[in-house]
Structure 1
Amino acid sequence: MRTSLPRVTALVVLAASATSVIGSIFGGSAPQTNAEALEKGWEYVTTGSTIKLAHVKTDTRLTMPQVSYGTGSQQQAVTAQGDASLTKALWRVEPLDAEERGAPVACGSRLQLINSDSDHRLHSHAAHRSPLSGNQEVSAFDGRDDGDVWTLECLKAEKLWRRETPVYLRHVDTGKYLASIPSKKYRQPISGHQEVSAGKKPDANAQWMALEGYYFSRRSPVPQ
């Protein structure tokens, strides 16, 4: 029997080389811009790394709770949840442009985020509304199409995706931004999970940062 969301009417990880991973960080520390404290050579999110994305405004993690939407696409739901230890909150970073494993991901890159627990891709589509906010629905999709592609937009004058620093993820196909609104929370069967949707604006609800995870590095020079 499939578990689904009800219809809503109202409502520092280090790696020894580019081919090996040493460990991971799991914990509940609040998101903070602390990239300056990271060891040199490990400051950036890199191709092939498997990370947890923290919603900056609420200290929740992007996750796939393994329930499907009761409306819209009826694909797997994506939420923001407060338990940073969940393995379902790990996403593999795969830039679409050919890059060797361990290469820092450049700002402006087109990429896919693949859930490591299920191999579903972070997905969105203009045809369906999210059940709580009415924004564009965000789901986890077990196929592949243009709805799986996101553009990394960095803040300030960054050239590379710096860990523990806020970024935006813009959906290539529709131009909407990955977001979570703190007041939009589900009841059963995933009580307390925040809805994740795609909104029009790159505002505070759309800021995410890479925190816990498994990181690769090739120990190469980076732009100054």
Structure 2
Amino acid sequence: MKAVFVGAGSLTVMTARSLLKRGHEVIIVEWRKERIDALNEQLDCGFLHGDGSKPVVLRETDPEKTDVLYCLTNEDQTNIISSLVGRSLGFPRVVTKIDDPEFEHICIELGLEDTIIPSRTIGGHLADMFEGRDPLELSTMFRYEARAFSFVAREEDEGEVADLRVPRSTRVICIYRQNQFIVPNESSAIKAGDEVVLITQRENLEALQKQWMRAIGK
């Protein structure tokens, strides 16, 4: 399998090193030539000197033959733009790193479903460790064809959970409303601005993305 990284920070290096040990192909896109020169001695992978938020640069990595594009620079805006460019070029999967949680709803509204916030993930894990818990990542619980999908509710989505128009084999599993976590039933209300999390079959993801991308002209 092949992975392309935009940005050559510590998270990229650690992830790339693990992938290389497992026999995968890695390409790192970085605009700082001196950073590429330094890493060239550490990592046996491909490097591309350029701005990963520009289509002409990302196109050189051969998107259609790449499995995952990781946008992991130190700038949230750059990661979001690179992710949108990557999606438009045909990368099958795009992972977007953001440090500021304020950008999370924007990523959801833009359809960037694989958004990660490392500081929040690590902070939650450390807090669980402090209390003696052994947390199980949600992603390990979704097996076979099961997938999670989330969206920010619009005014036209307001109403009861039972009235939400979703494909078959799709259920609302939780709602985030401001600082409140809600485990809903069919009569629970959905309000504009809620982050709604669904569990669905993998084959439904495209239809769900189209349904909640209409608001931004996709």
State the TM-score, normalizing by the size of structure 2. 0.27
Q: Give the TM-score of the pair, scaled to structure 1.
A: 0.27
Identify, as 1 or 2, the structure richer in strand: 1
Larger Rg: 2
Q: Which has the higher contact order (CA 8 A, sep 6+)?
A: 1
Instruction: Return the structure number with greater helix share.
Output: 2
